[in-house]
Chains A and B, each alone.
Chain A
Amino acid sequence: MADPVEGSGAAAASLPFEDALEKLESLVERLEDGELPLEEALAAFEEGVRLTRNCAEQLERAERRIEELVGEGGEWLRRPADLDEEDED
C-alpha cells in the first residue's frame, strides 16, 4: 500500500524553493507509479499544482533582496543595503 500523500495546502505556500521542488518531484513520481487510489491521486495532483505554482511564483520574483551586515555596539545587524552605484575602484 502506497504511503499516504502528506502535506497540507498551507505548507505549500511557504516552503523554500528547493524543498518545494523536491516535494513536487517526489509527488509526481508517486503519481506516476500508478499505485495510488483515486482520492489520494486527486489530492496528490492538487498538492502538485500548488507546489508548481509556488515554485513558479518564486522564479518570477524580480525584486532584489540584498542586505548588509553592519557592526554596531559589538554586534552584527542586518540592514537593507544601500548600493552605491559610483565606481570607487
Chain B
Amino acid sequence: MSEPSAAAGPPVYSVSQVLAGLKGLLQDRVGRLWVSGEVSNLRVPASGHAYFTLKDDAGQLRAVLFRGAARRLAFDPEDGLEVLAYGELTVYESRGDLQLIVQQLEPRGRGALQLAFEQLRGRLEGEGLFDAERKQELPAWPRVVGVVTSSGAAALRDVVHVVERRFPAQPLLLASSRVQGAGAEDELAAALEALDAQPDVEVILLVRGGGSLEDLQPFNTERLARAIAACATPVVSGVGHEVDVTIADLAADLRAATPSAAAAAALPDRERVAIRLDRDARRLVTAGRRAIERMRNRADAGAESLRLQAPRERLAARRGQLVAAGRALRREIQALLAARAAGMAASAGRLETLSPLGVVARGYAIVERAVDGAIVRRAGDVAVGDGLRVRLAEGELDARVEAAREASPSGSRRS
C-alpha cells in the first residue's frame, strides 16, 4: 500500500466533512437500532433532556433522551439501571462524538410499569405516606358507607351482596368513576374527594375487580395516592385479586384483598349485633324483675319509712312520681300485649315471659290508691274504707280496704 502523499492528490477532507460523511454513512447503513447497556453519568439539566452514557464491560456510548420522549416514560431512568434503548446512531458534529438519540427506553429484566411502581413506592414510602401511624381506624357503625367504583362493575355487585348479607339497611353512597384507562386516576380522586366532603360518609370503599398491570395503572399513580392520603374519611381499598398490591392499597387506611372483603371490613355484622341485642334484652328483663322484687322485700321488711323521713312537700312529689310510674307500667303491659298480638313475637314475647310483668302474671298484683293512683307499698299507706285499684296481669279490680295490718318489726311476711 503506497503511502499517501499530499502531492499525489489523494482526497483531503476537512474535519467537518469527515464528520458529516460519517453521519451520512451511519444514516444510510445503520439508522435506528436497539442497544442494551447500563445507564451511567445521568444528567438532567433544566432543559429536561436526559444526557447519559450507555456502557458495558468494554466500552461506552453517549446517549441523549430528549424531553418529549423522557416525559413519555413511566419510570425514571437512574444510574446503574440496565436498559434497552431504541434510537438513532449519529454523530454530534460540533464535539465529534458518537451519540445515540434515544426514542424509547425500557428497563431490562422487569417491565416499565413494574419499575415505575417500585420507584413510586420507594419515593412515597420515604415521605412517610404509608406509615402505620397515619392509618385511621374504621368506625364501628358508619352512618353512610361511600363507594368509589365503576357503576355496573362486578366490584360494585360484590359490595352490594355483602351489604345485603351483613346489614341490608346500611346506607350506601356511590360515586362513579372509570377504573382504568388514561386519566382515570383524576376521576377516581375527584370521586374520593366528593365523598369525603359529605359529612355523614364515615368510611369509603375504593374498589375494582382484577386486571392486568396496565388495567390497574390508575391505582398505581401518585395522584390517587395523594388523594387517598389527604382524605379525612378512612379509606378501605379492595383492588384486583388477592395477590395484587397497588400504591392505592398501600396508601389506604385498610387494605382488603378483594372488593367483598373491603365491604365486610367496613360493615357491622347483623348476626353478631342481634346476638348482642338479645343478651342486652335478657339482662334488662332480669334486672327489672330483681328491682321490683328488691322493692317488695324492702317494703315487707319495713326498711323504708317515707312518712317519717321526708317533709310534706317531698312526700307529695314522691307520690306523684309513683303515680307516673304506675301509669307507665300500665302502658307497658298494654304495649307488650299489643305487640305480641301484632306479631313481633320473638322479642316481645320473650320480654313478656321474663319481665317484671311476668311477676305480675304469676299472681302478684300492683295495688294503687283509687283517690290519687299512688302505689300502695305498706299497710300504713291506706286507711280502712279507702278505695283501691288492683292491677292484675289481665284486668283490674276495684276494691276497698276492710282491715290493715302493719308488718311486725321483725319483718315477717304476710302470707
Q: Which of B143, B155, B163 contacts A16 (CB 8 A)?
A: B143
- Give the size of the chain A interface in residues (CB under 8 angstroms): 48
What string of 1s and 0s marks CB contacts (under 8 Å) between B269-297 and chain A?
Answer: 01001101100110110011011101100
Using Cβ atoms and an 8 Å threshold, which residues of chain B touch A53? 339, 344, 347-348
Using Cβ atoms and an 8 Å threshold, which residues of chain B touch A17? 141
Please state if A49 and B321 are interface contacts (CB–CB under 8 Å): no
Using Cβ atoms and an 8 Å threshold, which residues of chain B touch A86? 152
Nearest CB in chain B to that of A16: its residue = B143
When chains A and B are docked, how far (Å) is the Cα of A44 from the Cα of B285?
11
When chains A and B are docked, how far (Å) is the Cα of A62 from the Cα of B273?
15
What string of 1s and 0s marks CB contacts (under 8 Å) between A60-89 and chain B?
Answer: 011111111101000010100101111111
Nearest CB in chain A to that of B174: its residue = A68
B232 contacts partner chain A, Cβ-Cβ < 8 Å? no
A31 contacts partner chain B, Cβ-Cβ < 8 Å? yes
Interface Cβ pair total, 8 Å cutoff: 153
Q: Which of A49, A56, A63, A67 contacts B168 (CB 8 A)?
A: A63
Using Cβ atoms and an 8 Å threshold, which residues of chain B touch A48? 284, 288
Please state if B171 and A67 are interface contacts (CB–CB under 8 Å): yes
When chains A and B are docked, how far (Å) is the Cα of A59 from the Cα of B173?
20
Using Cβ atoms and an 8 Å threshold, which residues of chain A touch B277? 21, 24, 52, 55-56, 59
Q: Which of A21, A49, A69, A89 contacts B154 (CB 8 A)?
A: A89
Using Cβ atoms and an 8 Å threshold, which residues of chain B touch A16? 141, 143
B324 contacts partner chain A, Cβ-Cβ < 8 Å? yes
Min Cβ gap A51→B in Å is: 9
CB contact under 8 A between A62 and B291, given known A53-B347, A76-B194: no
CB contact under 8 A between A28 and B291, given known A38-B322, A38-B325, A84-B152: no
Nearest CB in chain A to that of B287: its residue = A31
Q: Which of B170, B270, B292, B339 contacts A41 (CB 8 A)?
A: B292
Nearest CB in chain B to that of A60: its residue = B169
Using Cβ atoms and an 8 Å threshold, which residues of chain B touch A13? none
When chains A and B are docked, how far (Å) is the Cα of A32 from the Cα of B335?
23
Min Cβ gap B286→A in Å is: 8
Using Cβ atoms and an 8 Å threshold, which residues of chain B touch A88? 150, 152-153
Nearest CB in chain B to that of A86: its residue = B152
Using Cβ atoms and an 8 Å threshold, which residues of chain A touch B276? 21
Min Cβ gap B83→A in Å is: 35
Please state if A89 and B209 are interface contacts (CB–CB under 8 Å): yes
Please state if B154 and A42 are interface contacts (CB–CB under 8 Å): no
Please state if B273 and A59 are interface contacts (CB–CB under 8 Å): yes
Please state if B356 and A69 are interface contacts (CB–CB under 8 Å): no
Please state if B173 and A67 are interface contacts (CB–CB under 8 Å): yes
Using Cβ atoms and an 8 Å threshold, which residues of chain A touch B356? 42, 45
Please state if B153 and A89 are interface contacts (CB–CB under 8 Å): yes
A43 contacts partner chain B, Cβ-Cβ < 8 Å? yes
Please state if B172 and A67 are interface contacts (CB–CB under 8 Å): yes
Min Cβ gap A64→B in Å is: 6
What are the 9 A-B residue pairs with the smallest beta carbon separation, nearest first? Answer: A39-B325, A18-B141, A61-B169, A41-B291, A31-B287, A45-B288, A84-B152, A88-B152, A65-B171
Q: Which residues of A contact B (CB under 8 A)?
A: 16-18, 21, 24-25, 27-28, 31-32, 34, 36, 38-39, 41-46, 48-49, 52-53, 55-56, 58-59, 61-69, 71, 76, 78, 81, 83-89
A–B complex contacts, Cβ < 8 Å, 14 sampled: A21-B276, A41-B291, A42-B325, A52-B351, A53-B348, A59-B270, A59-B273, A61-B168, A62-B168, A64-B169, A64-B172, A68-B173, A84-B151, A85-B157
Other 5 A-B pairs with CB < 8 A, given A39-B324, A64-B168, A68-B173 = A24-B277, A32-B287, A42-B288, A63-B168, A65-B169
Q: Which residues of B contact A (CB under 8 A)?
A: 140-141, 143, 150-157, 160, 163-164, 168-176, 191, 194-195, 197-198, 209, 270, 273-274, 276-277, 280-281, 283-284, 287-288, 290-292, 294-295, 321-322, 324-325, 328-329, 331-332, 335-336, 339, 344, 347-348, 351, 355-356, 375
